[in-house]
Structure 1
C-alpha cells in the first residue's frame, strides 16, 4: 500500500450533483439483473465490454454506473471450464490494464487453455465510472505533500494540511460514487459479472488488496465459490475494524502489523546483501551498520546530488520501505545506498543520481487523469475504522518507528487521509469472516512479504473453515514478485480441479536475491 502510480487509462467522471451522504437504503428489493456484456475486439486478442451495475445495490432500479471489463478468451474453447476473474490489488489499480499487461504471463498454458481471463476496473476507479475530485492530474498531485513521508513535527503539520486539501476537494466534487466504493460493493459487482459471463460459481484470483476482495466475496456469497486464490493476504479483522477497540486509536496498517512485515523483510535485505558479497553493491562491511550510519548522516544533513537537488532522510526511509515489496529492485537500492554512503567520493553523488533515477523508473507512469490520488483512499477509508484525529498518526508513527526503525513512519503516514476523509459507505462489510465456502479457498502467503506479512495468511487460513495455506518461503509482495514455480504448479492444479495442495505445503523461491548466478 505504498503510494505509487500504476499503468492506467483515461476515464470519464461520474456526474456529481452532491457529496452529501446518501439516504438510508431501502431493504427488501429484488436483486439487480445481471448486466449484458457486448464484447468487442480491443486488440492483441483481448475483448472489451462495459457493464452497467447499480450505484447502490440496495436500490437496483436506481442510478447505474459503468464498469470497464476486459477478457482474454481461453485458447482451447472446446475444453473451457469458465472464467477466471482477476484483481491486481491496490485499491485504485486498473484490472483492465493489469490483465492486458501481465495477465497471460501469470498462469500456466493449461489454465490459459481452459479459462477466459477476465478483469475489470472496480467502481470509482479509472475507466469505470470514476471518483474525480480535481480537473487534472496536476491538480490532484498538487494536493499531496511534497515530501514522501513526514519526520519532523513541522513536516507532520504540513502533511496534514495537504490531507485536508484532498479531503475538502473530494467533499466538494466527489459526488455520490464516493459513498459507494467499499469493497463489499465491489464484491456485489463481481457477483453480477459472474452471472453475466454465465458461470455457475466464481473462479477468482486476488492479489494484495485483491485478497480482501476475495475474502469479502467468499463471506457474502459462500455458496458461489468454485475456486478462490488469495495471495498477499490482508487480515480482514485487523483491516476493517481492529480488535478490542483498536479501530478508534490505531490506523489500519498498524493493525495489520505492516511495519513488522516491512522490518522483517529489510533485515533479510541486509542479510542477503551481506551473503551476496560482490553481487550486492552495499555489502562491503556490515550492511545493517552501514545503513544505520547513513541514516544518521542524512538526518543531520541531506546529500547534494549533481542536479542540485537534496536527497533527504525522508526519501531514504520511504524508498527503502517501498523497495522491500520488489526484490527485483533490491540491486538498485543497494547501488543507491552505496553511492549515498560514498557521497564524499568524487563519483558518489553522480552514482546516487543514476541509481535513484533507475529506482524511480521501475513502476510505469500513466496517461490522462488517473485518479489514483483519490481512488485508493475512497476504498481504504470507507472500508476501515480509523482514528478521527491526525494526532493519532503522529503518535502511532513515532511508536512504530521505535519498534521498527526507519520503516514505521512511511508505513503509518500513508493512511492519514482517513482521519479527514468525507466518504462513508453504509454497505461496507465488517464480518464475520468465517463462512464455510462451497469449495476450498487457497491462501498463499510469502514468508518475507514487504507489505502483507506472512502471519496474515496464517490468520486467514484459520478464520475460513474451508481454507488451505500454501507457504512461499521467498521474498517480495505476493508470488507475483516472489516467483516460485512450485507455487505456480499448486495454484494451477487448484484452479483446474478445485483441489488444494496438501496441508503444510511449503514452496521455495526460484531466485534468491543477491545470490551469484549459477555456473554455466
Structure 2
C-alpha cells in the first residue's frame, strides 16, 4: 500500500517553453502576503462517508488496524488562495489544499517540513499520514509540523482533466512499443489526439500555469502563510525536481532539503523519460534472481531463463492479449511492480497467471481520481521543458533505445503528447545550478527503475557544493523512510534532526536483511 502510493511517482516526461521572464523568485509584481491558514478537520473521501461498511459491505478497518488511518485522524486541513499566474498576482486566483500533521512535542519543534510524494499528479494531502505510518522517526515528527498539499491541478487544488476514456487510462504513461518508424507515426496520431483533448478540456485555462516553477511558488506561499521564515522539505521522485526548483527560486528560504529518488538535472524532460528504459534494465536482475530462487512460479530456474520468459510472454501477449493485458501492458505492469521488493511476489504471480492465460485485474480503479492524476502528469511534464516536434527525432530515439534497452526502450523512445503540447504563454524552464546554500541531501537507491542512478548523478553534478548524495546498494523506488537500508535512513534522519550531513558523498553497502 505504502509503496503503491509512491509508485504514482512513476509517471512521465516534460515539455514546453516560451520567452517570458519567470525563472526567478522575483516576478514582475509581488503578491500580497497570504492570510494565515485556518485549520479544521480534513474532508473525508467518498469511502469514508459511506459509514461503517465499505462499498461491498465489508467491515472497514479501524484506526487500530490501519496505521495510516490512525495518523490521518490527526491531520488538519486548510485552503490557501494563490495567484493562477504569478506574473499577474492580482489576477485570477486558485485554491491549494494544505494539510498538517502537527508536532506533538512543542518543546522539540524546530519548524515545518513540506512534503511531496511525486508524480507529477500524485495527491499529497494525506502524505504526512502515510509518512508517519511508514516509519518516519519520532525524532522527525517531534521536530516538525509535517505539511502536505495537493499541487495545483491535483485532487482538491483546482483539478485538471484531459477527458480521458477508460481505454486511454488503461494505456498508462508509456507510448506503444515502436519496432519501426511506422509505429512511431501511428503513435503520433494517438499522442496528438490526447494533447488536443487536454487543450480543449474544461480545465484548459490551466495549461500554461501547471508548471513545477509555479508549484514551487505555491510552496513558498504556504511557508509564508504558516508564519515561517524558512521551510524544510522532503520530496520523492518528481518531488526531487520540485525541491530542486524551490531551492533554485528561493535559495534563502530553504532550511534542510531532502531529495529522495532523484530525477535528472533537467527534471522530467524527454531525457528522463527515455531513462525509464535504463531504470528497468538496472532493476530487472533483482526480480530475475528472485523468480529463479522461487521455482514454484515456473518462470525459470536461472536469471537468464526468467529473462527469456519475459521476452516470450511479451511476444505471446502482443499477438494474443489476455484480458486487457497485451504486450505493452505486460511491459508496463512489470516495470511498475519493480518499484518495490514487496511487490516482487505479486509480479511473479501475475507472470504465472498470464502465462496460464488468466487475466490480471488492475490494481486500482480507472476512475475520476485516476483520470485527474494522469491529466495532471501531462500538464506538468508537457509544460516544464521543450519536447521535439519532429517525428524523425522519436523514430531515431526508439531505434537506438530498442537496441540499448530492449525491455522498454522501444516505448520510452517513442512520441508522447508532449510533442504536440500548446506552448503559448509558458515561461522558460528553471535551470538548477550550484549557487546557493549548502543545504541539500540527496538519497538514492542504486537500482531504481523510476529514477535511475545515472540521472541522479546529473542532478548531483548540477548542484555541486550545495549537495551531498547518499546511495544505497538496493533496488526499488523510494528510499526514506520506506527503505530498509539503515545506513541511508540514519543519515537522512540525522540531517533532518541535527543538520549534519556526511562530509562527502556516502555509499551505503547492501544490508543482509534488507
Q: TM-score if structure 1 supplies the norm length?
A: 0.80
- Looking at structure 2, the residues matched to 494 and 58 of structure 1 have their Cα atoms a distance apart, in angstroms, of 35
**What is the DSSP-based 3-state SS (H/G/I as helix, E as strand, rest coil) of the residue aligned with 1:222?**
coil
- Looking at structure 2, the residues matched to 7 and 302 of structure 1 have their Cα atoms a distance apart, in angstroms, of 25
The CA RMSD over aligned residues, in Å, is 3.2
Q: Return the offset for 1:330.
A: 1.3
Contact 1:378/1:423 (8 A) holds in 2: no
After superposition, the C-alpha distances for 1:128-164 in whole angstroms (9 at most, x for unaligned) are 0122343xxxx44444575875235676555433322
**What is the DSSP-based 3-state SS (H/G/I as helix, E as strand, rest coil) of the residue aligned with 1:427?**
coil
After superposition, the C-alpha distances for 1:6-65 in whole angstroms (9 at most, x for unaligned) are 999xxxxxxxxxxxx999989642344234311112271111000001111121211111
Structure 1 counterpart of 2:47: none
Structure 1 counterpart of 2:236: 207
Contact 2:244/2:432 (8 A) holds in 1: no
**Closer, same or farther: CA 377–367 of 1 in aligned 2, 3 Å:** closer
1:108 corresponds to 2:137? yes
Structure 2 counterpart of 1:18: none
**Closer, same or farther: CA 27–365 of 1 in aligned 2, 3 Å:** closer
Contact 2:450/2:477 (8 A) holds in 1: yes
- Looking at structure 2, the residues matched to 23 and 232 of structure 1 have their Cα atoms a distance apart, in angstroms, of 31
After superposition, the C-alpha distances for 1:411-468 in whole angstroms (9 at most, x for unaligned) are 344x71101122555334331422222x421011110001111133333233222211
Contact 1:143/1:163 (8 A) holds in 2: no
**From 135, 142, 159, the counterpart of 1:130:** 159
**From 173, 176, 196, the counterpart of 1:150:** 176
Range that drifts further, 367-376 or 187-196: 367-376
**From 322, 326, 350, the counterpart of 2:340:** 326
Q: TM-score if structure 2 supplies the norm length?
A: 0.80
1:349 corresponds to 2:357? yes
Q: Return the offset for 1:239.
A: 4.6
- Looking at structure 2, the residues matched to 301 and 65 of structure 1 have their Cα atoms a distance apart, in angstroms, of 45
**Closer, same or farther: CA 365–488 of 1 in aligned 2, 3 Å:** farther
1:6-21 counterparts in 2 under 5 A? none
Contact 1:327/1:476 (8 A) holds in 2: yes
Range that drifts further, 209-218 or 389-398: 389-398
- Looking at structure 1, the residues matched to 417 and 73 of structure 2 have their Cα atoms a distance apart, in angstroms, of 39
Structure 1 counterpart of 2:50: none
Contact 2:264/2:455 (8 A) holds in 1: yes
Structure 1 counterpart of 2:39: 39
- Looking at structure 2, the residues matched to 311 and 375 of structure 1 have their Cα atoms a distance apart, in angstroms, of 25
Structure 1 counterpart of 2:281: 263
Structure 2 counterpart of 1:252: 271
**What is the DSSP-based 3-state SS (H/G/I as helix, E as strand, rest coil) of the residue aligned with 1:429?**
coil
**From 258, 283, 288, the counterpart of 2:304:** 288
- Looking at structure 2, the residues matched to 221 and 397 of structure 1 have their Cα atoms a distance apart, in angstroms, of 38
Contact 1:22/1:176 (8 A) holds in 2: no
**Closer, same or farther: CA 371–254 of 1 in aligned 2, 3 Å:** closer
Q: Return the offset for 1:259.
A: 1.9
Contact 1:74/1:115 (8 A) holds in 2: yes
Structure 2 counterpart of 1:472: 472
1:54-453 counterparts in 2 under 5 A? 54-134=83-163, 139-144=164-169, 149-151=175-177, 156-173=184-201, 174-237=203-266, 239=268, 251-253=270-272, 257-274=275-292, 276-277=293-294, 281=297, 284-296=300-312, 298-299=314-315, 309=323, 311-340=325-354, 343=355, 348-350=356-358, 353=359, 356-357=360-361, 360-361=362-363, 370-413=371-414, 416-424=416-424, 426-437=426-437, 439-453=438-452
- Looking at structure 2, the residues matched to 213 and 318 of structure 1 have their Cα atoms a distance apart, in angstroms, of 25
**Closer, same or farther: CA 7–225 of 1 in aligned 2, 3 Å:** closer
**Closer, same or farther: CA 273–5 of 1 in aligned 2, 3 Å:** closer
**Closer, same or farther: CA 170–290 of 1 in aligned 2, 3 Å:** closer
Contact 1:103/1:117 (8 A) holds in 2: no
Contact 1:85/1:119 (8 A) holds in 2: yes
- Looking at structure 2, the residues matched to 282 and 87 of structure 1 have their Cα atoms a distance apart, in angstroms, of 39
After superposition, the C-alpha distances for 1:384-428 in whole angstroms (9 at most, x for unaligned) are 221113453343123212101112134344x71101122555334
Structure 2 counterpart of 1:53: 82
Contact 1:443/1:470 (8 A) holds in 2: yes
